[in-house]
Every structure is written in C-alpha cells, then in structure tokens.
Amino acid sequence: MALFVVFQTTFFLTLLSLRTYQSEVLAERLPLTPVSLKVSTNSIHQSLHLQWTVHNLPYHQELKMVFQIQISRIETSNVVWVGNYSTTVKWNQVLHWSWESELPLECATHFVRIKSVIDDASFPEPNFWSNWSSWEEVSVQDYLGRGTLFVFPKDKLVEEGSNVTICYVSRNIQNNVSCYLEGKQIHGEQLDPHVTAFNLNSVPFIRNRGTNIYCEASQGNVSKGIEGIVLFVSKVLEEPKDFSCESQDFKTLHCTWDPGTDTALGWSKQPSQSYTLFESFSGEKKLCTHKNWCNWQITQDSQEMYNFTLIAENYLRKRSVNILFNLTHRVYLMNPFSVNFENVNATNAIMTWKVHSMRNNFTYLCQIELHGEGKMMQYDVSINVNGEYFLSELEPATEYMARVRCADASHFWKWTEWSGQNFTTLEAAPSEAPDVWRSVNSEPGNHTVTLFWKPLSKLHANGKILFYNVVVENLDKPSRSELRSIPAPANSTKLILDRCSYQICVTANNSVGASPASIIVISADPENKEVEEERIAGTEGGFSLSWKPQPGDVIGYVVDWCDHPQDVLQWKNVGPNTTSTVISTDAFRPGVRYDFRIYGLSTKRIACLLEKKTGYSQELAPSDNPHVLVDMLTSHSFTLSWKDYSTESQPGFIQGYHVYLKSKARQCHPRFQKAVLSDGSECCKYKIDNPEEKALIVDNLKPESFYEFFVTPFTSAGEGPNATFTKVTTPDEHSSMLIRILLPMVFCVLLIMIVCYLKSQWIKETCYPDIPDPYKSSILSLIKFKENPHLTIMNVSDCIPDAIEVVSKPEGTKIQLLGTRKSLTETELTKPNYLYLLPTEKNHSGPGPCICFENFTYNQAASDAGSCGHVPVPPKAPPSMLGLMTSPENVLKALEKNYMNSLGEVPAGETSLNYVSQLASPMSGDKDSLPTNPVEPPHCSEYKMQMAVPLRLALPPPTENSSLSSITLLDPGEHYR
C-alpha cells in the first residue's frame, strides 16, 4: 500500500512537471509565425504554388493550425484574394498550397504573405494570430523575352459557359492596340500603361479546334505587329444516361449507356472522355475501351447482387452514375430461331420456332404477332424448349407475316429481337357477288345495254379473278339464254337486246370456283321517262343527295354519275329504308358539272329512274366570254346578241350577264348603273338576270358617237375573265335614209343585170344582129326573080374610081396640088391621108363604075391598108407623085393591091361575087356626103364584106359635068358636088 502511494505520488509529480515545462515552452513561443515562404508559378494552369514551414514546434508533436493567406496584385495594397488554409502540422514539415489566378500571371506582379494560428483543442483559449510574414513578390513579365506585344493566357482550356480573363502586354506605350474575338473587336480594362485585361463571360463553344483571339498594335495606319492565342472551349461533360447491365448466358454482363456529347478537342488538347466501371461489392475496377458499352465477366462464386458505378472523366471534371441489381432479374434472352409454318390451307396454319437453352426449368414467355391485310393480331404463349402455335381464322389467298419474340417468364426484363417469316394461305372461291350496274340506250327495235361491274375486293375475291361469266336469259322466252365469258381485268361489256325482258346474271371466277351471282333485269319497256332535273350545290365533302320515298316494294336505290375527265360510270347502292346519301370521292374536281341519276330497284330487280340532279362540287367563275355580234346599228341604238354562247360547258351555273358600256360622255343611260372595273376605270353596267336572255338593245344613243361595250357572264363564284372592249360608232341620221334608198336601187340593178345575162342571146339578136351572109341575101332572090343577065363577080380591076378627095387638117403651110382648088398644109402631110373615090366621069368604058356601100349597122374606123376607097398617101409625097396618082391606072393599081389583101380571107369557092371591105362610115350628114371632120385612123378591126352591083341598077346615069380625069383634093368640111 505504501508502495502504491509512493508510486502515485511520483507519477503526479512527473506529470505536473511535464505540463509546467510544456506550458512554459509554448507560452514562450506563441504565436508561431510561418517562415521560409517560397512562391513559384505554373503558367499552364495559371497558378501560384506556395511552400513554407513552421519552426519551434514540439518534437514529434502534431498541431492543428489555420493559415491565412493574402494575395495582392500590382501593389501590396491591392489585395485580390484572402483565404484560410487548415491543416495538421508536424515538426519540421514543409507545407504546400496552390492558388489559381483568373488573371494570367504574366499580366501583373503578385504579392503573397501568410500568417497562422493554432487551432488545436489541447491548447487553452485564447489563441492569437501570428505576425504576417514578409511579402513575397512574384513577377513573370521579366521572363517574357523579346518582343513588344504579348497576349495571355496561352492555349487555355475551359468549359463552355465559363468566365475567362485575357490580357495583353505592350512594351511600347506609343502603340495603339486593338483586340478581336473571332474577328469582332472587344474592349477591356487598362491595368497599367502596359497591360489591358478583357473579361469574357460565358464563353461559347465555337469549334473543337479552339476560339481565335488576337491583338494588333499599330501607330497611325502602320501595323506594328499581331499576336494571338487560341482559347480551347470544351463542351460540358455530361452524366451518362440510360446506364444498364444485363446477361444473355449468365457468363457475361453487358453494360450500355448513352455517353452524351463528346468533349474531345483538336490539336490533342483534350481527348474524348474516358469511362471506368467500378463494382463496389468485389472492389474491382475496369477501364472501358468503348465509350458507350463495356463487358464485365461474371465470376463463378455465385454472386447475384451487383453495384456498379460508371465514371466519366475528362481534363476538366468527372461525372458518375451507379446501379444496383440482381443478376437473375437482368436476363436478356437470345433471339428465337428456326421459324416455320406447317399444314397451311385457306384459313389455318401451324407456326413453330426454337429458343436457346438457359438453365434447367427455365420458362420462356413468347409473344406472336400476325400481320396481314392491314391488320395485326397478337398472341402470348409460355414454353420450355420449343414453341408451337395454331393460327386460325385466316383469309384465303392472303400473304401474312408472322414473327415471335421471347423473354424470361419468371422475372421479366425485356423482349428479345423479333424473328419471323412470311407465308401465304391457299385460294378459295369468291365469297361475294360482284356489284353490277347497267346503262341502257333505247333504240328503235332494240336496247343497247352496257353492263358494268366493280372488281371484288381482295377480301372477297379469295384469290386472283380469272374471268367473269355473264348469262343473259330471255324472260319472255325462257328456253333462250346466252353465256359470255369476259376475261379479267375487264369490268364492262355491251349487249344488244331486242324488245323483250331479260335477266342478266354476273359471276366472278377464280381457280377454285365461282362467286354468288349478281342479278339485274332489263325491262322490255323503253326507259324514256322524262324527269325534271334539279340543281344541287356541292361542298368540299361531296354532294348531299335526297329523294322522295317510293310507294310499294323497293329493295334498294342506286345513284349513278360519271367521274371526269375519264367519264367512267360510277354508282352507289343504298338500302331500301334510306332516302338520302352523301357522294364523296377524290375524283370530284372544282368547276366540273356532275349529273346524278337516282333509280329505285323493284322486287323484280327492275330499275326505274326517279330523279335527276346536277351540280358542281365547287362553282368557279366562267372560263370564257361570249362572242357578241352587233346588229341593227342605227344612229340612236344597236343590238347586242350572243345566241351561240353555251352555258352548259361553263365551270358553274350561269346566273346572268353583265353588260359594260363606255362612252365619251361618261353618263350612264337608263337601266345602266355606274361601275368601277378592276383597273380602276369607270363605266356603266347593266345586269341581265336571265341566263337564257342573250340579247340586249342599247338605245338612247347619240348619232355619230363612239361607244365601247363588253359582255361577260357571271356565276355564284364571280364574273368571267377580263377582256378588251369592242368599239362601235353610231352613224348619222341621214345615212340610214340613204341606205334605205340605195339598197332597193342596188337590188333592182342587180336584178336587171341578171335578166340581161340570162337573155343575152335574145338581146344580141334583137339589138345588134350578125351581118347577113351575102349568099343568103334576099337581093339575090330579087335578082334571080328579075332574071338579071349581068349578075357577076367583080374584080378590083373592074372598079375604076372617078375621083380622089384627100381630107386633112387645115393647120400648117398649104401645098397646091395639081388639079386641086385648095392647098394642103404641111402638117397634114405628116399623118396618113385617106382617099375617097367619087364618080366624076360621064362616059367611060369597062364593065361599069364600082360603088362602095356604107353599112350603117356598125361604125368602125379603117386601118391604113385594105379599106375600100381609102388609099393611103405617104406623109411627105412630092407633088409629082400626087400627079401620078391622078392617072386612073395608078389609082387602080394601088386599090387593087389593098383590096386583094383584104379579100385574101374570102374562102375558096365563093367567087361568084366580088366583095369590097366597107370600114368607114360617115361621121355627119347624110350617107352620100363626105365626113367634115376627119378622124385619126384607129387600129385595124374586123372587115365586113358587102356585095357590089352594076351601076345601072343602083345609080342614075352620070351627068355631063363628070370628068373621068378629074381628081379633086378636098379640105375638111368640103365634099364633092
């Protein structure tokens, strides 16, 4: 006991002395000031790295201390950051701490100092902060090297949306420096005369090869240099999505995820994010080589629970997700295989398939989908090894697609992929009668029936339709029937039937059999019932039709119409208790008139026309304007007519016409109203509400006035197209009266001309008959009657002229000729002269004088040669030549030459008489006198022959004063006496 007391006392004394010593030491050295502070820089990360130590710590003792760090920029008084750093300090330990600067370290000088305080529970309060260490200056600008312009930071890596500060250092303050971000100038804050900083907030991702920033130094317009940097902006690393793991064979876990956006950058600045799979129960980790999936080997230690963490990481941050699951609940089976069909007929089939084996007593849940004819049917079945399912109620001649997928029936995780196959059922006989209709055209003595039918749907055809059988049976003579086979795909046929009633049966046939028959009856009575047509209005949905119910037994109604532009007959069957329907089809077009006929079907299958309806699905404005004729134009009115304009071919029901009229007076006539055209011009308009009224009398007009008109139809949709105005001018008031007088006169003249043309032969014979043939002359009959013995044919030599008289104009110098009483002018001799033969001799020998008869039936001028009694005289003949002409022999020679030329045309054999050409007739006076006014000789014309008779039969005896040798040249106006 005494020993224990001694030991206890010794222990307490020792402990007391130790505490006293410790308190004295600490009290003596507190507070502890950090020493040996050193600051280094990291330009890549733009950070300051601090290291220091704390002296006078107890040996092998640890203390919790707090260090306060203060950082200034440019000047020590400009404190930019103050913070505390807590740690446990050991004896003689070197402490480290880093600070990242938002401003590039190259752009400013930094100052750092530090102080500390003990924060340990073993030391009583109060604790005091130590003194600040001395400022530690850090300046990087001294190491920039040569150059006048620098831009920082170099190749900095940041995330999209971060705030970044850049700066430039210009050693020449005389330079004007401008900085640009992707070509757009930016403005910053000047830190000192050499340094300017730019704060970029929420920097965007522009491209994976970095964002370009450059600064240009210049003096005036002279560039002194360009410096730039590339700021690498990375997409934000996303957390992996849809992380999941599953097994198909209980040997391997297959884990997948959605990696999101790739954060890789160009120039190898940052690779794509990496993924690491960590399982916490086993503590194993695996670096994944793929960025969206990874396989994990399952060990044989029968581990069922797994806790996976997926870690995504790049240079800037990390993201992670984790899942916890039971292996037996994440079974994803392999796809079924060997899908087949057995015992396939028209309506049934057996489907079989196989699955991959898993564990013993493993149950599969399989799902079957059957697709065909636009429908889908689904069935579920549970199996252990192989699957089989009976498919029933299938459609004949139909192609189906059947597929199957399976899953774990105990713990459903997900379905496998589909495995399937196609198959086709066999054909069967058509199950429905074809829809049949007809069009009947009645002609004298027969019916022309065009039979139409619609192709059976694939559902009812039960196979490929090969042909249609049409059986025509005469109901009045039942023993007579006719069968026609129409090859498919034809859908109509034409029949010519007599005036009997016929029953027509139509069936569709495929390779298996025929469909039920469709029956229609054609009555012997002609279908000529007149039904009034009713107008209806269509809509975008089609035409709404209704009709009156029919008394008696009606088994249904049929509505037929024609689709344009193919003009194919269409029809719709309606039940007997329905008196309305809506006809809608995509074939209806705006502006096309559709005619609907509604028939009632009796119990005998005879169709009777009930109603007619016509309308447009959408009316349009008229497509053209009428061709207008102007009739009955007077000084005060005219009539417009357009009788040939067809209203049936228009894209709407014509409701009337608008007549537009313009005049210079710009005043509307009665019944017209003012209107403004689309071009802004004003005119007068008259409205005709009756579409059948196709004429208009425009009256109350002014004579000799100018008018313009334009006629256009209109429908409920609007007027016809714009067209040019037709111009018309009213005549004056007297012109119409003149026309009324001239027209009858012109008519009468035309009538007279026609009568004259028709009676031309009679007029010719009456007014100017042909010259009689001398051989048929009544004079010969007279001579024969008197039995004249001197009847003979005269020769030219037998006709001796008595005198020659030359007739000329009195102008010019006159020349006295031999044997004449007056002279001729010189100008008269310049033109041909004519000699007239006159009897002057009393006694002469020969057959007798020649007489030239004048024919007063016509008046023709003679030519220079071949005229009876006309001898041409040369224009400039000397007097001596004229003197020679006084000899009768010379005159006869000249006459004989000209006469023989004219008589050369006398036919041979007609020489019993001598004929002389008579070409000149007297111009004035009696027939015995010479012409007083000589005329110019015209062109030669037809010669007429006149018979000559002896002188004693026609003239009195010659007088004593006549002289055979006298030839007299007479002036115009004189004649022989």
The C-alpha atoms of residue 71 and residue 99 are separated, in whole angstroms, by: 9
Instruction: Report pLDDT for 775.
Output: 59
| Per-residue confidence (pLDDT) for residue 831, from 0 to 100 | 40
State residue 284's pLDDT score.
92
pLDDT value of residue 702: 85
Q: Which residue has the higher pLDDT, 414 or 886?
A: 414
Short-list 375, 374, 368, CA closest to 391: 368
**3-state SS string over 328-363?**
HHCECCCCCEEEEEECCCCCCEEEEEECCCCCCCCC
Q: Where are the domains of the chain?
A: 34-142, 145-234, 241-329, 337-425, 436-616, 628-738
Contacts of 431 (CB under 8 A, 6+ apart): 460, 462, 515
- Interatomic CA distance for residues 305 and 788, integer angstroms: 174
Fold match between domain 34-142 and domain 628-738: yes
pLDDT per position as a tens digit, 760-796:
877 777 777 777 666 565 555 555 544 444 544 555 5
User: Of 944, 950, 925, which is closest to residue 855 (Cα–Cα)?
Assistant: 944
Q: Among 226-240, 376-390, 605-619, 737-751, whose mean pLDDT is lowest?
A: 737-751
CATH of 34-142, one of 3.90.1010.10, 2.60.40.10, 3.40.190.10, 3.30.230.10: 2.60.40.10
- Give the angle 683-687-688 at the CA atoms, nearest 5°: 145
Q: What average pLDDT does the segment 845-854 reach? A: 44
Torsion angle, CA of 577/582/583/585, rounded to 10 degrees? -130
Report the amino acid identity of residue 717: A
Quick one: tokens of 569?
Answer: 């007959």
What span, in angstroms and rounded, lies between the C-alpha atoms of 762 and 406? 121
Position 552 scores a pLDDT of 79
Measured between its terminal Cα atoms, the distance across the chain in Å is 228
Mean pLDDT of the chain: 79
Q: Which CATH architecture has domain 241-329?
A: Sandwich (2.60)
Which among 920, 924, 917, 923 is positioned nearest to 938, based on CA atoms?
A: 920
Q: What is the CATH number of domain 145-234?
A: 2.60.40.10
Flag whether pLDDT at 872 surpasses 90: no
**What is the Cα Rg of the chain in Å?**
69
Q: Is 689 helix (H, G, I), strand (E, B) or coil?
A: coil
Question: What crossing angle do the helices spanning 760-767 and 733-758 adopt, rounded to 10°?
Answer: 70
| pLDDT band at 231; cut points 50, 70, 90 | very high
- H-helix or E-strand containing 764? helix 760-767
Residue 31: pLDDT band (50, 70, 90) is low
The answer on pLDDT for 43 being more than 60 is: yes
Nearest Cα neighbor of 672 from 703, 698, 704, 694 is 698
Return the number of other C-beta atoms located less than 10 Å from residue 63's C-beta. 20
SS3 719: strand
pLDDT per position as a tens digit, 497-546: 888 899 999 999 999 999 999 999 998 876 667 888 899 988 888 899 99
Q: What single letter denotes the amino acid at residue 153?
A: P
The CATH classification of domain 436-616, taken from the options 2.60.40.10, 2.60.120.20, 3.40.50.720, 2.40.100.10: 2.60.40.10
- Residue (of 115, 120, 97) closest to 47 by Cα position: 97
Q: Any idea which fold 337-425 has?
A: Immunoglobulin-like (2.60.40)
Task: Tell me: pLDDT of 132 over 80.
Answer: yes
**What one-character DSSP code corresponds to residue 160?**
T
Task: Check whether 177 has a pLDDT greater than 50.
Answer: yes
> Does residue 202 come out as left (phi exceeding 0), alpha (psi in the -120 to 50 range) or beta?
left
3 state DSSP class of 2: helix
| Helix/strand/coil percent split, the chain, to 5 | 10, 40, 50
Cβ(538)–Cβ(618) below 8 Å: yes
Sorted by sequence, the CB contacts under 8 Å of residue 561 that are 6+ apart come out as: 569, 570, 571, 583, 594, 595, 596, 597
Beta bridge partners of 559: 572, 598
Instruction: Using alpha carbons, list the distances in angstroms from residue 893 to 594, 798, 871, 882.
Output: 104, 11, 11, 14
Residue 854 confidence class, pLDDT cut points 50, 70, 90 = very low
Annotate 897-916 with DSSP letters as a single string. HHHHHHHTTSPTT--SS-EE
Task: Give the H/E segment covering residue 227.
Answer: strand 222-234
* 275 and 291 Cβ atoms separated by less than 8 Å: yes
Say which CATH topology domain 628-738 has: Immunoglobulin-like (2.60.40)
In a 3-state reduction of DSSP, which class is residue 785? helix
576-613 pLDDT, tens digit per residue, is 999 999 998 888 889 889 999 999 999 888 899 999 99
- The proportion of the chain whose per-residue pLDDT surpasses 90, expressed as a percent, equals 47
Q: Which pLDDT band holds residue 133 (cuts at 50, 70, 90)?
A: very high
